[in-house]
Amino acid sequence: MNIRAIPKKMVPKRLDYERFGSLYALILLFIISSIASPYFLQLQNILNILRQVSYTGIIALGMTFVIISGGIDLSVGSMTALVGGIVILTLNKFGGEIGEIGAIVVAIVVGMLLGLVGGAANGLIITVGKVAPFVATLGTMAIFRSLTLYISNAGEFRSASSMYPELGMGDLIGIPVPVWIMLGLAVVFHIVLTRTRYGRYVCAVGSNERVARYAAIKTEVIRFTSYLVVGLTVAVSAVLLSSRLNSISSTNAGLNFELDAIAAVIIGGTPLTGGSGTIPGTVFGAIILGIINNMLNMLGVSPYLQGTVKGLVIIGAVLIQGKRR
């Protein structure tokens, strides 16, 4: 049979499933959760879920570029703690010299630069040093956490600012600021991934690096840039997290953020092998994880078992992707 002769209307079902599978799963989970608990649909509960997932969701947006390009980053959780801690130290240092507002601006700029430096370090080790992404970021994960513990003496970074928490705890039209930032970044990154040459190159490198190189694409530059992107999103998340708590724990801050970010990307439909993926899918994946955690808490499931459920969801998402392929 000539495949070209098949009418287009007979083809889209599978394509729609692959493209909107995470959205369908989110809708189904939303319905089940609404039935399972009468408190789930309360506005405050929904806003709490969105606020909780925004921190790892923002990181997952950058992680999408890394995974699509064929890489992975295990250091984002430790980097979040390090960046957040230094942001607070900077805020405390300049708070009495240039005023609270000026100190907050300086601290945020320092945080963004530090995130880019961390991302650049990973990118250089992988592209110039030719170290496998898993091994490279596993090493920097230990380095970032160790530096955080050393700087704080295994204690806690605490801000002396009274204005700084308004950034992480504030809201706009009733919606938390971190959620607005996550959605805003999602729109920007979606445009970059689908409407720019860089986005096409990221997919090309992840799909087949050799062919991309033959097509005159600077594959190492593309991969390096993807780690800069995730470093920037880590910095944004670190600022929001530290401002919400007005402190950062050197031991617990960012713990397992890398697992949640990677899980959100995978559940959102991006294969670990790279080559394709969507930003909306990642956002849906992050929200799915948030709803699962929320429902487990509401149903009184032991927090020690919640990781088991999350692991099963990740494995299930990978199995479904494998069968679809």
Give the pLDDT confidence of 141-194 residue by residue, as tens digits.
Answer: 999 999 999 999 988 999 888 888 888 888 888 899 999 999 999 999 999 999
The pLDDT of residue 19: 63
* pLDDT under 70: residue ranges of the chain: 1-20, 96, 321-325
Residue 248: phi, psi to the nearest 5? -140, 125
Q: Is the alpha carbon torsion for 159, 181, 281, 197 positive or negative?
A: negative
Q: Is residue 32 part of a domain?
A: no
DSSP readout, 6-72?
S-GGGSHHHHHHHHHHHHHHHHHHHHHHHHH-TTTT-HHHHHHHHHHHHHHHHHHHHHHHHHHTT--
Q: Is residue 39 part of a domain?
A: no
The residue type at 271: P
Q: What is the CATH number of the domain that holds 65?
A: 1.10.3470
Q: How far apart are CA 26 and CA 196, in angstroms?
A: 28
The pLDDT of residue 4: 45
pLDDT digits (tens, 9 = 90+) for 259-287: 999 999 998 888 888 888 899 999 999 99
Adjacent-strand bridge partners of 233: none
Q: Is residue 12 part of a domain?
A: no
Among the residues of the chain, which ranges form H helices? 12-36, 43-68, 76-127, 133-152, 165-169, 177-195, 197-207, 209-214, 219-245, 257-267, 279-298, 303-324
Q: Based on C-alpha coordinates, what's the Rg of the chain?
A: 20
Q: Is residue 2 part of a domain?
A: no
Q: Cβ distance 241 to 168 under 8 Å?
A: yes
Q: Which domain holds residue 283?
A: 46-324
Q: Is residue 17 part of a domain?
A: no
Reading the block at residue 200, the tokens are: 């096409």
Query: How many domains are contained in the chain?
Result: 1
- Among residues 24, 12, 11, which one has the least CA distance to residue 317? 24
Q: Is residue 16 part of a domain?
A: no
Q: Is 157 helix (H, G, I), strand (E, B) or coil?
A: strand
Q: Is 23 left (phi over 0), alpha (psi -120 to 50) or beta?
A: alpha
The pLDDT of residue 15: 45
Q: How far apart are CA 212 and CA 119, in angstroms?
A: 23
Q: Cβ distance 221 to 228 under 8 Å?
A: no
